[in-house]
């Protein structure tokens, strides 16, 4: 029987990614009970296990989605030995895809992580350089505004990324995910580039 994980994955990924879901994600879905207990994450839209609790103060994710995200982070810190550039992309993409509700912290988070994606994707910076650059911009920006999230907020999600069995494949999937979400935010690219230009000359 096809699981929701693989059907979600196959919907958006090219046939060159014939991966099966990892055992961890399969067990997460099993623990959550039947497939009827899946819900759509309000951030990324992924169909995820309906787990109790709220994972974060201002990141707008469900616990089921957050659990899958933490599995991705665990792989990056563990078996993949901290691929800096890819890890930066993972954190930025997840935050941008889960903007939450308008508020001081969420506005700072979305602007900061969009700036970081801009530095990584458009300016070819390393993870370290992007972190330093967006931190500098945020420190010096007079005011940041709430950027209305796109609908949909990208079409690839953590479900498409957590399946990667090797670092090489993980890197490709994270890049696809990051580019997919960055493109979804194209109505705000000019705002982000302008913000970056003010402090990056």
Binding site for Zn ion (CB under 5 A): 41, 43-44, 61, 65
Q: Which residues pair with 115 in a beta bridge?
A: none
- Residue 177 contacts by C-beta under 8 Å, 6 or more apart in sequence? 89, 93, 154, 156, 157, 160, 161
| Residue 65 C-beta: closest distance to Zn ion, Å | 3
| DSSP states of 120-134 | HHTS---HHHHHHHH
Q: Which is nearer to Zn ion, 46 or 195 (CB)?
A: 46
Task: Assign residue 97 a region (left: φ > 0; alpha: ψ between -120 and 50; beta: otherwise).
Answer: alpha
| Residue 135 C-beta: closest distance to Zn ion, Å | 25
Q: Which two tokens stand for residue 69?
A: 């995200």
Number of residues written out for the chain:
201
């Amino acid at each position: 029987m096809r699981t929701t994980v693989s059907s979600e994955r196959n919907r958006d990924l090219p046939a060159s990614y014939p991966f099966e879901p990892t055992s961890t994600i399969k067990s997460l879905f099993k623990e959550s009970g039947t497939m009827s207990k899946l819900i759509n994450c309000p951030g990324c839209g992924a169909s995820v296990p309906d787990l109790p609790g709220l994972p974060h103060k201002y990141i707008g994710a469900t616990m089921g989605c957050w659990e899958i995200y933490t599995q991705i982070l665990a792989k990056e810190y563990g078996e993949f030995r901290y691929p800096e550039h890819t890890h930066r992309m993972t954190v930025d993409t997840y935050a941008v895809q889960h903007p939450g509700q308008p508020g001081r912290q969420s506005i700072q988070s979305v602007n900061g992580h969009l700036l970081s994606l801009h530095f990584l994707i458009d300016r070819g910076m390393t993870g370290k350089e992007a972190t330093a650059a967006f931190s500098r911009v945020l420190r010096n920006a007079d005011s940041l505004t709430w950027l209305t999230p796109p609908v949909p907020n990208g079409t690839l999600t953590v479900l498409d990324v957590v399946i990667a069995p090797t670092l090489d494949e993980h890197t490709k999937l994270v890049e696809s995910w990051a580019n997919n979400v960055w493109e979804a935010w194209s109505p705000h690219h000019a705002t982000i580039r302008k913000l970056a230009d003010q402090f990056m000359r």
